[in-house]
Amino acid sequence: MMNDLATVFSADGVFAAAIPGYRVRAQQLELANAIGQTIESRSVLIAEAGTGTGKTLAYLAPALLHGGKVIISTGTKNLQDQLYRRDLPTVRAALKVPAIVALLKGRANYVCHYHLERAREEGRFMSREDVAHLEQVSRFAESSRSGDRAELHGVAEDANIWRYVTSSRENCLGSDCPHHKKCFVLEARKKALEADIVVVNHHLFFADVWLRDEGVAELLPACNTVIFDEAHQLPETAGLFFGETLTTGQLVELARDARLEAIQSCKDYAALPEAAQKLDKAARDLRLVFSEDSGRWPLEKVCDRSGFEAAFVDAGAALDELVAHLETQAQRAPGLENCWQRGRELANMHAKWQEPAPAESVRWVEAFSHALGFNTTPLSVAEIFTKQIEGSARAWIFTSATLSVKGDFAHYRKQLGLMEATSASWESPFDYDRQAMLYAPPGMPEPNTPNYTRAVLEAALPVIAASQGRAFLLFTSLRAMKEAHGLLQQAFEQSALDYPILMQGEQSRTELLERFRQLGNAVLLGSQSFWEGVDVKGEALSLVVIDKLPFAPPDDPVLAARISHINQSGGNAFMEYQLPHAVITLKQGAGRLIRDEADRGVLMICDPRLLSKPYGRRIWQSLPPMRRSRELADVQSFFARPQ
């Protein structure tokens, strides 16, 4: 295979002929060879490839040339769609490999005929928009071959209607469904089983491996290779699924479904909708114990809250009552049977949450705008994860632009238990010394001071003027982002700067990015979701400002428990966990700046700890090798210089 790869990636190879703008990159061929060797030896590889290496081609070529069944897991559904609709067809055509390719998503991404029919019969919707969307979904379900909601462009991804017309693991009727033969989810799974290359995402992969629910478990036995792209996200994603979560939203949905099933299948049993209404109220009352719109707290702090324990017990009692009524009616219809089984499972989770937490795990509560989540999370997923990959004769490849700290993979290995895996790092082919500058403004206050965000804006304003807008301002918290938005509007008015200001949350991320590219001189303020997975090439993005080093808040209940566990075990949680995690996150944010050989720009990190703390050196040495300066004049000269 190695000789084939050298030819494929050469200046006169098939990629050069088939892909516009293709350039030979030594790092890309080295990465492809390492992946090819891993596939042939069925071993484990951790591969860090800097921005611009072209890792997608580097893993697709050996995977297709080697043959066999391959699962590719991506970080997001957007990347999943890009791989399936653009990258894989291009590579497959260039290599002339007749591989069958399939896309598999979680069931909530496919229209469900049963729930669509029930929604039409029920006809209770909050707005005219919901009614219009229902008609669009109905027409789509009749004409679509896939049922994938991403293909229905007239209905937004976060539209309210989707929760009424899709199924979940809990409310799917399985083989009892009257629409079983034309189920979009089953059709997607069938295609995946028949395919050579299957594209999934991390959430789907872990939901299935752990819950045996989404169809991946059926794929794994015949699979030769598993490739995780954006693999830096895996530890956090695995933690979500290897733990256990009960939400008030699940209780509300069970109450809603039980009420609808009662209307359809047991109108003569009035006690059932009454019990459903009682559970709905108890679940909502439990949420109202928390006045905050959002937040995360350890169990011990939650138990001290006035009214919490009584509301939690009341919700459990209402759930038990509904389950008892469902049991008496379950035989009358598959939908009632499903609600009964769901109710039993939720009741078991509710009871278990009141018991002592399992060893080396933490219990905590998270508030969302309309729901509460009750979580049990393992402090480490390493042992559970390695059990999933041990004893299987297949290749496992973990790749991302950000997996190491200054070339050291110890943190990542420890998180996933990959202690014996081969690891390697390839630097970006971009000329960072020419293309970019790292600017650390002088005189910044400590990040925990009250007026810190104002100081960030004051330091950034002349740099934004020099870059003529064209900037991302990335914040470590939503609160800081919103404060900065108000301050920036005032500063632009006072300084007579006329650059459009965009902010995360005003539109979907896709729409905001499209506007940012089209405007060409905008300033976009973003928090966590803009630190990674965002690709803006060209002059439209010439400045990235980062307010603070992205250390996770130490009062986060999961992080606090992990810190305590590491320190009590004789380790140093800051050096072993908090610092590496911050470095990898910072590398993601910094990676937004230079996306192409022609890009130029300034990375501005405002946090004075980058230079004042002993660990700061380790942080900036992990970043791409840019020129560094503390002088505003150097930044202004950089932008004034013609390209």
pTM of the model as a whole: 0.90
Secondary structure, 3-state, 458-513: HHHHHHHHHHCCCEEEECCCHHHHHHHHHHHHHHHHHHCCCCCEEECCCCCHHHHH
* pLDDT exceeds 70 at position 185: yes
Give the model's pLDDT for residue 399: 97
* pLDDT exceeds 60 at position 469: yes
* pLDDT exceeds 80 at position 531: yes
Give the model's pLDDT for residue 7: 93
Pairing of strands 543-546, 471-474: parallel
Give the model's pLDDT for residue 98: 93
Tens of pLDDT, residue by residue over 111-141, are 999 999 988 887 766 688 888 899 999 999 9
All domains of the chain in start order, with CATH? 2-106+186-241+380-426 (3.40.50.300), 111-166 (no CATH), 242-378 (1.20.1440), 432-640 (3.40.50.300)
* pLDDT exceeds 90 at position 4: no
* pLDDT exceeds 60 at position 213: no
* pLDDT exceeds 80 at position 222: no
Residues near 415 by Cβ (< 8 Å), separated by ≥ 6? 235, 380, 381, 382
> Which residue in 471, 470, 473, 439 sits closest to 453, CA to CA?
473
Average pLDDT over residues 499-506: 93
Tens of pLDDT, residue by residue over 423-465, are 999 999 999 999 999 999 999 999 999 999 999 999 999 999 9
> Which residue in 375, 391, 388, 457 sits closest to 416, CA to CA?
388
Region for 215 from its dihedrals, namely left if φ exceeds 0, alpha if ψ lies in -120 to 50, beta otherwise: left
Of the pLDDT bands very low, low, confident and very high (cuts 50, 70, 90), residue 604 is very high
- Alpha helices by DSSP H, listed for 123-183, are 128-143, 162-165
Give the model's pLDDT for residue 482: 95
Region for 496 from its dihedrals, namely left if φ exceeds 0, alpha if ψ lies in -120 to 50, beta otherwise: left
Of the pLDDT bands very low, low, confident and very high (cuts 50, 70, 90), residue 227 is very high
Long-range contacts of 189-196 (CB under 8 A, 24+ apart): 189/104, 189/215, 189/218, 191/102, 191/104, 192/102, 192/104, 192/219, 193/218, 193/219, 194/100, 194/102, 195/69, 195/99, 195/100, 195/101, 195/102, 196/67, 196/68, 196/69, 196/70, 196/99, 196/100, 196/101
Please check whether residue 277 is in contact with residue 259, taking contact to mean a CB–CB distance below 8 angstroms. yes
Give the model's pLDDT for residue 106: 85
Other C-beta atoms within 10 Å of 520: how many?
14
CA gap 230, 530 in Å, rounded: 15
Per the structure block, which two tokens stand in for 368?
Answer: 């969302």
Q: Across the chain, what does the average pLDDT equal?
A: 91
**End-to-end CA separation in angstroms for the chain:** 41
Give the model's pLDDT for residue 175: 84
Of the pLDDT bands very low, low, confident and very high (cuts 50, 70, 90), residue 48 is very high
Average pLDDT over residues 257-281: 93
Average pLDDT over residues 87-97: 95
- Percent of the chain beyond pLDDT 70? 97
Give the model's pLDDT for residue 609: 97
CA gap 588, 342 in Å, rounded: 40
Please check whether residue 71 is in contact with residue 225, taking contact to mean a CB–CB distance below 8 angstroms. yes
Residues near 619 by Cβ (< 8 Å), separated by ≥ 6? 549, 579, 582, 583, 586, 610
Give the model's pLDDT for residue 391: 66
Please check whether residue 226 is in contact with residue 197, taking contact to mean a CB–CB distance below 8 angstroms. no
Other C-beta atoms within 10 Å of 454: how many?
15
* pLDDT exceeds 60 at position 2: no
Tens of pLDDT, residue by residue over 339-393, are 999 999 999 999 999 888 888 999 999 999 899 999 999 999 998 888 877 767 7
